[in-house]
Amino acid sequence: GIQVEQSPPDLILQEGANSTLRCNFSDSVNNLQWFHQNPWGQLINLFYIPSGTKQNGRLSATTVATERYSLLYISSSQTTDSGVYFCAVERDSYNTDKLIFGTGTRLQVFP
């Protein structure tokens, strides 16, 4: 099956710093999503981004499908950004509808 690798596994930042999270995948995909799991365990949709670039406030994401990677940018980080960030992909195959998750990047932002 498709492999999803996220890096770095852990990231510690001071408030105000910028960061880049990476997601590599081993096969063509037709669906890619970024999620934030907050300290209470809730999964929050950040971006649905199978290709191209999107921005939402301090967060932006870029997926280069032809090179099989996606990047999540966090600018001016805040303590509320802490948690685990997951990338999930769906393989580009007819009607598989199976989201496969990476193991996540754990982000800690300190004041």
Partner 1 sequence: NAGVTQTPKFQVLKTGQSMTLQCAQDMNHEYMSWYRQDPGMGLRLIHYSVGAGITDQGEVPNGYNVSRSTTEDFPLRLLSAAPSQTSVYFCASSYIGATEAFFGQGTRLTVV
Least distance to partner 1 from the beta carbon of 34, Å?
11
Task: Tell me the closest approach of the beta carbon of residue 76 to partner 1, in angstroms.
Answer: 26
CA distance linking residue 77 with residue 95, whole number of Å? 37
Q: Which two tokens stand for residue 2?
A: 């498709």
The contact pattern for partner 1, residues 37-76, with x = CB under 8 A and - = no contact, is ----xxx-x--x-x--------------------------
Q: Output the six-digit token pair for 49.
A: 């981004």
Options 16-24, 56-64, 66-74, 88-96: segment touching partner 1 (CB under 8 A): 88-96
Six token digits for residue 38: 């907050």
- Decide if residue 100 touches partner 1 (CB under 8 A): yes
Work out whether 104 is an interface residue with partner 1 (CB under 8 A).
yes
From residue 4, give the alpha-carbon distance in Å to each of 24, 51, 78, 93, 106: 6, 16, 27, 16, 16
